[in-house]
Amino acid sequence: MSKGEIRALKEMQNVFGDVKFSREAWKSVGNAILANPAARQTIVATDKDGNPSIAQQIEEYSYAKLKRDIEALGEQGREPTELEMILQCQMIKARFDTNAAVFIRDTLGAKPIDETKVNAQVNNPYEQLTDEELEMIVKMREQKALEAKNIAIEGENVKKD
């Protein structure tokens, strides 16, 4: 490796060493790929009887549907993007595949809330108090308990007399 290649490699490692930057960079790359026009499948997948596979049928149907929808929107000549194809195929597959349905649900932001986590976020009124304030509360409660006990004892003494 030349010095220039080593320097470029070290710079790349340094830049991608930052987790936040790395995540954003890969996100940008992924979004750029997903925005590209979807390639039509060139290999025809068939089942054991020679019929088009379910994946092949879903892909062909999705492509044709998206193409019609795009043309109906007045965007003649535009091909469906990879992202559009993924979502359309998953939506069709979600009709009979639970994993695809979960993917669509989560993608649309309809994932159910875990109630155990929601209940765990109850506000604690004692959370903002200082140690001294908490100690005062404990002493006050102990004093009230002692007074209640003394009153109960006095009440028993009165009954005995």
**Per residue in 44-97, pLDDT tens?**
778 888 888 888 899 999 999 999 999 999 988 899 999 999 999 999 999 999
Residue listed under structure tokens 């025809």 = 44
Q: 52 with 25, same domain?
A: no
Q: 31 with 83, same domain?
A: no
CA-closest candidate to residue 41, choices 87, 89, 76, 78: 89
Question: Six-digit token pair at 74?
Answer: 């007045």
Question: Six-digit token pair at 44?
Answer: 């025809």
**Rounded Cα–Cα distance for residues 106 and 33 (Å):** 21
Q: What is the pLDDT of residue 126?
A: 81
Q: 9 with 47, same domain?
A: no
Q: 21 with 79, same domain?
A: no
Q: 57 with 100, same domain?
A: yes
Count of Cβ atoms closer than 10 Å to residue 90 Cβ? 19
pTM: 0.56
> Which domain, by its residues, includes 15?
1-35
150 within a domain of the structure (yes/no) = yes
**Rounded Cα–Cα distance for residues 107 and 44 (Å):** 29
Q: 111 with 129, same domain?
A: no
In the chain, the number of structural domains is: 3
Q: 47 with 92, same domain?
A: yes
